[in-house]
Amino acid sequence: MTKVFGSFVANDHIDLTIEPGEIHALLGENGAGKSTMMNVLYGLYDADGGEILIDDKPVKFSGPGDAVAAGIGMVHQHFMLVPVFTVAESVALGYEPTKSLGLLDISEARKKVKEISSRFNFNIDPDALIEDLPVGAQQRVEIIKALSRDAEILILDEPTAVLTPQETDELISIMRQLKEQGTSIVFITHKLREVRAIADSITVIRRGKIVGEASPESTETELASQMVGRAVSLTTEKDAADPGDATFQVRGLTVVDKAENVVVDDVSFDVRRGEILAVAGVQGNGQTELAETIIGLIEPRLGTITLDGKKLVGDSVKDRLGAGIGFVPEDRSTDGIIAEFAIRENMILDVYDREPYAKGLNMRSKVISEEAKKKVEEFDIRLGSVSDPISTLSGGNQQKVVLSRELGRDLRLFIASQPTRGLDVGSIEFVHKRVIAERDSGTPCIIVSTELDEVYGLADRIAVMYAGRIVGIVGPETSREALGLMMAGVPAGEALEATAGTTSTDGAANQAEGTESAAASAKPASSATEPADDDSATTSAEETK
Amino acid sequence: MTTDISPAAPSAAPPPESETEDGKEQTLLQQIMSGSWLVSLLAIVLALLFGGVLIAVSNAEVVAAAENFFAAPGEFFATLFQTVGNAYSALFRGAIFDWDARTTERAIRPLTESMVSGTPLILTGLGIALAFRCGLFNIGGQGQVILGATIAGFLGYALPLPPVLHMLVAAIGGIIGGAIWAGIAGVLKARTGANEVIVTIMLNSIAGYALGYLLKQNWFTHTTSANPQSRVIDDSAQMFLLLPPPFRLHFGFVIAILATIFVWWLLERSTIGFEFKAVGANPHAARTAGISVSKVTILVMIVAGALAGLGGAAQVLGTEYKLTGGISGSIGFDAITVALLGRSKPLGTFLAGLLFGAFKAGGYLMQSQTGTPIDIVLVVQSVIVLLIAAPPLVRSIFRLPTPVLKRKED
């Protein structure tokens, strides 16, 4: 089976061949053209040149329906499921089996779900509602959906972005099973560890071009430099933390959302001067709300937030920024920047009315430009002119603008939510360095991240959140497995115990090995640095319980 | 685990193309404002061409000549161009410079008349443009003009005050009237999320009928006449003339220039304007940056209403001198067009206001001299709006290249 691609805008003369029964990883930075290419393959976009061949026969897709008919299935990054449908209904959606008179034959769909589910040990109840299923199970529903249409080629677009490490392991085992049954899998990702754990062959894409094939035996550093086009260091150098007083305290913080769901549940923790507290957890377990409550975008129902002995609850966002909080929001394009505004204006978005940028009501254009140029220099931002709209910058440079704004003043507390989301490896390196520099200057830092690599790379202590609660606060030497269990809600003590002796206890034992050896290579650098901090970290974990 | 199940969570991973999710209103506004000067200019040209077609079709001579087209095609074209040419030259003579006039005074009077007609349009247009820039659709120019005119007019004949001071007090009354009227919409939007479009439209009706009621009350009109109109305002409250009669150009035009400069300073040079624009462009980011979106919403509407109210005050204190039911004419709605044509920029709005003032002033002469219905002018104005609201249409007609959004992919 061969597929050939030719020239089109986001993808420049890409040739890709996928053998039957192989797991082919497509590795590239964000915006490299991976998703574009797969969307062409799935019939969502038209190719402007080139052709797709299945079993040496050229095919033409005018929509996803054609692609499905040709045996291509796709699991999107954001699942395309209706929350209130049952599993069987979801699987039937789009090609509803009908009885006479056009009635929906749901029992047929149910049978199919059971059959596929048992074939792969998916353990999915066809009558369960989608919204009641955990994310990993929802993903399996998507896979069942694709398989139920006899997909021979399965495209998985960033499938691990929303999964816990355990769920990721399970997914990897599922992918292996599928492969054994002869299904080809195209696995799109920018996570190097997963690629090495599972892929049979790796294609690296950069700026819409194939820059090379790599073998799963390549080291992560090799893959990363191929992806970015230059040598990068994956582990951030940092000295041991020298924590001072706990100037920032959160006590009994409880936040409810508009629908009266408790999203942050009785959370208490301290952050000391000169340390980085990483808040880890699967997306949507209250970390975002916690960060937004600290900066004042959300008012808590209960609890206190204290910075330098001053209570913050009830103060406006402006007052809290004035108190010395630097805040990097999670969703850069929505909350962090104003796309139409010039770069120099984005650099003063929350300090526009302070000296030296403003005098009275007048803004001082000249000063703003000069300061902007200084920051461009300092943060190595690649741009044409500081007066250009910020939308002309790449994501990495936009994030540098945000960082230059938030770190460009004297801070008493620094909070960053997903500071490197969507950034390329080179920018991540830079952002991490700046955060560590801020820590070293004595600022308490909170980093909210769903990327475990980032958590391990930055954290002096790790707080794991699950369902709005802090499950425990542990040291950076904690194993990935233990963190993974905590991210699934297992209390810190049990998680540490469960992973202390044996390698792994759950069903994914054999798969865990693959990821573990990969994990091991990244771990020592960060965990070895902080042996001293270990004791205090575990005691504070006890406190929170 | 239920919290992270919703597939709607758009922040679950980097959405690469999520810039256009700000809602339709926002994108429409942005589209209108991102149109180039060229598009505005071409829209005017196209609209005038279209108006020319209508003038020809509605003219009996042209129609008669068209019937004999095959017999005398030359005559048809001669009639066509003459008719359209006459109409537009009358429009020009009525609006800018009348070369047929016997005296110099009369020759340049049309231009000052355009300025007179343009004054309330500029002021109100600035109010609407300001709101546009801040992401708010202020459709309530009409109501704000009425309120401004009503209060300014009433103070103009009800208070015994010395000259100039009287005028200033009356004008400030108009400003406050417009500010309160728009402020209601601002407060409702900020506090309850009520859509400002609907609220301002309703406030237009309320203002119109309230004025109608007041004009029937003798305590208000200070007259005993049964006509629904007020007493003439005191001389001391009139906006003094800038040139001797027969010119009607009054101090209001100076106010319009000052207001244009003020709005420019506000938007481009002040911290308040920075907040306004930030909220207009991206309320989420503005909120995250510590800007109070509800405070800005209220403030924007108050300033916008103040400008519109000043427009109403200028109309009654500078041109009409008394309150009637039709005091606001269609100023409030024309001002929306003016703001759109001016691309919500202060200078653009000023020029567009002058243009529309010229249309108004020239339309009368065109009607009286060539019999071309003044409605043609209204059609031309409306076509301009249509074309400006659809920049791609203008671009495709003139085969202009689509402006490429500069955006590097990372």
Calculate what percentage of chain A has a pLDDT beyond 70.
83
Least reliable range by pLDDT among A340-344, B300-304, B366-370, B391-395: B391-395
- The band of B31, judged by pLDDT with boundaries at 50, 70 and 90, is low
- Cα distance between residue A283 and residue B13, in whole Å: 9
Task: Nearest chain A residue to B11 by CA: give it.
Answer: A331
Q: How many CA atoms lie within 13 A of A420 on its CB side?
A: 24
Q: Is B28's pLDDT higher than 70?
A: no
> Alpha carbon B133 to chain centroid distance?
14
Most confident of A60-64, A201-205, A370-374, B377-381: A370-374
- The band of B406, judged by pLDDT with boundaries at 50, 70 and 90, is very low
Calculate what percentage of chain B has a pLDDT beyond 90.
50
CB contact under 8 A, B406 and A336: no
Residue B404 DSSP code: P
Looking at beta carbons, which residues of chain A come within 8 Å of B19?
A: 333, 339, 391
Looking at beta carbons, which residues of chain A come within 8 Å of B272?
A: 361
Residue pair B263/B251 in contact (Cβ under 8 Å)? The answer is: no
Burial class, B313, CB count within 10 angstroms (exposed 0-12 / middle 13-18 / buried 19+): buried
CB contact under 8 A, B271 and A317: no
- The band of A97, judged by pLDDT with boundaries at 50, 70 and 90, is low
Least reliable range by pLDDT among A190-204, A303-317, A509-523, B171-185: A509-523
Count helices and strands (H / E) in chain B. 17, 0
| Mean pLDDT value across chain A | 78
- Percentage helix, strand, coil, to 5, in chain B? 70, 0, 25
**Residue A491 amino acid letter:** P
Q: Is B59's pLDDT higher than 90?
A: no
- The band of A174, judged by pLDDT with boundaries at 50, 70 and 90, is confident
**Residue A442 amino acid letter:** G
**Residue B266 amino acid letter:** L
pLDDT for residue A118: 80
Mutate to test the interface with A, among B274, B275, B277 (most CBs of A within 10 A): B274
Looking at beta carbons, which residues of chain B come within 8 Å of A321?
A: 289-290
pLDDT for residue B373: 84
Calculate what percentage of chain B has a pLDDT beyond 70.
89
Q: Is A426 on the interface with B (CB under 8 A)?
A: no
Nearest to A53 by CA among A37, A68, A30, A70: A70
pLDDT for residue B365: 87
Q: Is B352's pLDDT higher than 80?
A: yes
CB contact under 8 A, A391 and B407: yes
CB count within 10 Å of CB A128 equals 15
Nearest to B308 by CA among B323, B280, B337, B328: B328
Looking at beta carbons, which residues of chain B come within 8 Å of A361?
A: 270-272
Calculate what percentage of chain A has a pLDDT beyond 90.
16
- The band of B65, judged by pLDDT with boundaries at 50, 70 and 90, is confident
Which of residues B176 and A159 earns the better pLDDT score? Answer: B176
Which of residues B400 and A334 earns the better pLDDT score? Answer: A334
Q: What would the pLDDT profile of A511-539 be if each residue is shown by its tens digit? A: 433 334 443 443 343 333 333 333 343 33
Residue A43 DSSP code: T
- The band of A42, judged by pLDDT with boundaries at 50, 70 and 90, is confident
pLDDT for residue A291: 92
- The band of B156, judged by pLDDT with boundaries at 50, 70 and 90, is very high
- The band of A321, judged by pLDDT with boundaries at 50, 70 and 90, is very high
- Cα distance between residue B277 and residue A38, in whole Å: 39
Q: How far is CA A336 from CA A88, A402, A418, A436, A457, in A?
A: 40, 7, 12, 21, 23
Q: Which of B7, B16, B290 is nearest residue A318 as measured by Cβ atoms?
A: B290
Place of tokens 């409605």: B375
| Mean pLDDT value across chain B | 85
Radius of gyration (Cα) for chain B, nearest Å? 24
CB contact under 8 A, B281 and A138: no
pLDDT for residue B148: 96
Across residues A107-131, what is the average pLDDT? 80
- Cα distance between residue A142 and residue A147, in whole Å: 9
Burial class, A532, CB count within 10 angstroms (exposed 0-12 / middle 13-18 / buried 19+): exposed
Q: What would the pLDDT profile of B77-116 be if each residue is shown by its tens digit? A: 888 888 888 888 888 988 888 888 888 888 888 999 999 9
- Cα distance between residue A205 and residue A212, in whole Å: 7
Q: What would the pLDDT profile of A488-519 be if each residue is shown by its tens digit? A: 888 888 888 877 754 444 433 344 333 344 43
Which of residues B162 and A522 earns the better pLDDT score? Answer: B162
Which of residues A245 and A532 earns the better pLDDT score? Answer: A245
pLDDT for residue A231: 63
CB contact under 8 A, A392 and B287: no
Across residues B177-183, what is the average pLDDT? 96
Angle between helices B141-158 and B196-214 (to 10 degrees): 30
CB contact under 8 A, B410 and A394: yes
pLDDT for residue B332: 92
Which of residues B130 and A30 earns the better pLDDT score? Answer: B130
Secondary structure, 3-state, B175-222: HHHHHHHHHHHHHHHHHHCCCHHHHHHHHHHHHHHHHHHHCCCHHHHC
pLDDT for residue A347: 92
ipTM rounded to 2 decimals: 0.77
Q: Which of B11, B282, B292 is nearest residue A339 as measured by Cβ atoms?
A: B282
Q: Which two tokens stand for residue A545?
A: 């319980």
Q: Which of B12, B285, B408 is nearest residue A335 as measured by Cβ atoms?
A: B285
Q: Is B399 on the interface with A (CB under 8 A)?
A: no
Cis bond before residue A126 (omega within 30° of 0): no
Q: Which two tokens stand for residue B85?
A: 């040419």
Q: Is B35's pLDDT higher than 60?
A: no
Q: Is the whole-model pTM more than 0.80?
A: no
Across residues B351-360, what is the average pLDDT? 92
User: Which residues make Cβ contacts (< 8 Å) with residue A305, sequence separation at least 6?
Assistant: A249, A250, A251, A253, A293, A294, A311, A312, A313
Across residues B213-217, what is the average pLDDT? 92
Q: Is A158 on the interface with B (CB under 8 A)?
A: yes
Q: Is A1's pLDDT higher than 60?
A: no
pLDDT for residue A528: 38
Q: Is A544's pLDDT higher than 50?
A: no
Q: What would the pLDDT profile of B113-125 be if each residue is shown by its tens digit? A: 999 999 999 999 9
Residues 26-65 of B with CB under 8 A from A: 30
Q: Is A390 on the interface with B (CB under 8 A)?
A: no
CB contact under 8 A, B290 and A321: yes
Residue pair B230/B323 in contact (Cβ under 8 Å)? The answer is: yes
Which of residues A375 and A37 earns the better pLDDT score? Answer: A375
Looking at beta carbons, which residues of chain A come within 8 Å of B264?
A: none
- Cα distance between residue B244 and residue A151, in whole Å: 87
Phi first, then psi, for residue A349 (nearest 5°) are -55, -35
Looking at beta carbons, which residues of chain A come within 8 Å of B288?
A: 295, 297, 317, 327, 329, 335-336, 350
Looking at beta carbons, which residues of chain A come within 8 Å of B287?
A: 297, 317, 335
pLDDT for residue A201: 83
Q: Is B232's pLDDT higher than 60?
A: yes
CA distance to partner chain A, nearest, from residue B282 (Å): 6
Residue A309 DSSP code: T
Q: How far is CA A461 from CA A244, A449, A456, B171, in A?
A: 14, 13, 9, 64
Q: Is A83 on the interface with B (CB under 8 A)?
A: yes
CB contact under 8 A, B285 and A286: no
pLDDT for residue B271: 93
Burial class, B371, CB count within 10 angstroms (exposed 0-12 / middle 13-18 / buried 19+): middle
pLDDT for residue A68: 80
